[in-house]
Structure 1
Amino acid sequence: MARQLTTVGFDADDTLWHNERFFRITQARFAELLMDHTPEDMGPEALDRKLLDAEKRNLGTYGYGVKGFTLSMIETAIEVTDGRVPASVIKELLEAGQMMLSFPIELLPAARAAVEAVAKDYRVVLITKGDLLDQERKLAQSGLGELFDAVEVVSEKTPEVYAEIFARHGDGAARALMAGNSMRSDVVPVIEAGGHGVYVPHGLVWEVEHAEAPSHSPRFHEIADLGALPALLDQIG
């Protein structure tokens, strides 16, 4: 019997390997560096909100990833200090961003085994957002690159983007499944494109990536980790 699904897409950051933890570490450093330069009534939560607002505002200009995050930190530092932030702090923020681009890749549990198992019976495509060079670096260090039939680094994950990718690398979205940790980027839009979306929760999720689960859809699935993906695919058929 022919399979209903022929193509499986995997998200990368915080689905296959750790990523958000490095942003949290750097954001804590950002708060430390600005502690002595911000108004007394601006606590850590207010500073975090200012940074998040800058990140959201800059997505259309800088896109996703470390470089946009670093520029948003610098912009926020200038804003909250009324332009008085010392050059030494800007320098340390740049160095913190550069350090993020060199953090070693650590695969999440079951990531390799899941991709290897799925690749035996399906076309597998890595679909990720972020800076091209950084995503290429992480994929190379992960050791998973040879398992994928295709790799797509996109500026945004929309229904149209998924439809185009799965048409090009598979048999269309209706015969595809996407697995990832972001409800907003990895699940909702692929279901809207006609495919199956699998939510794989991760403990740390950037606020921008939150969205309501499309629980009403029969093409929505949730698994505890990627180790459960092969069994889910067998169930869907």
Structure 2
Amino acid sequence: MRSMSLGDGRMAIEGSSARYVQGSARRFRLKAAGLRFVGGFESRDGRLEDGQRILAEARVADGVLRRAGFDDEVGAVGLTLRPLPASSEQPRLLLMLGYREENGAETPFAEAFLAPAVFEALKADMLNGLADEVSLGATTNLWMREEDRDAPQAGPLGWYLAPGADGRAIVPARGFIDGIAWQPLAKPEPSATVEAAAAPAPAAAHEAGAEEDWREDGLEQLRKLNWSFRLLLLLLAFLLLIIAVK
């Protein structure tokens, strides 16, 4: 990897004319799907800790994520959502992005640390089928090209992870999560093909019409029977009235 240098709030990569800066007014946004819950406990420093987490596959929304000095885009990002320890006094939701080595290869990852109440609400909705997709926005220390600092809010934006000073590692980016939302999967609209297949054939339509006529005849007979029954009740009421008068 190529070496990196910092100066006057700008980052330069060896062999590249691009200059990178921080401090965008835009929020870095992730959208994730395929949520799955993992429970368990972990032992750290002789203490037993809650290891429950929610895993998902995320992608950058309204932009792309790259390693500074490289043109390749980061595709799917493995997202892990964890609850902050109950004893933590951290009032903010945290996000960390970077690369980690898995099975001999470097893969992108994102970890979101949520307040226990937020994590429990998400877990409950997910287990009840009310949370299949998650989106979050964060203010981070990710880099961007200097010319993109004032890019319009509506357009896509390139975000960059910085290499280490020796050029051999990726420095994880960190930030505060400004908002998180989740929802169930949207039901697909029925296609024209399905509607065409559902349309009755002429013979079926004729049979349906005959059945509808039979139903109308049945309803007419039922109405006549109800009216006859009402007349009978009316006659009985008059007979009782006559008997009472006598």
TM > 0.5:
no
Calculate the TM-score normalised by the size of structure 2: 0.20
Structure ID, larger Rg: 2
Larger strand fraction of residues:
2
| Higher normalized helix content (fraction of residues) | 1
- TM-score of the pair, normalised by structure 1: 0.21
The one of the two structures with greater contact order (alpha-carbon pairs below 8 A, sep at least 6) is 1
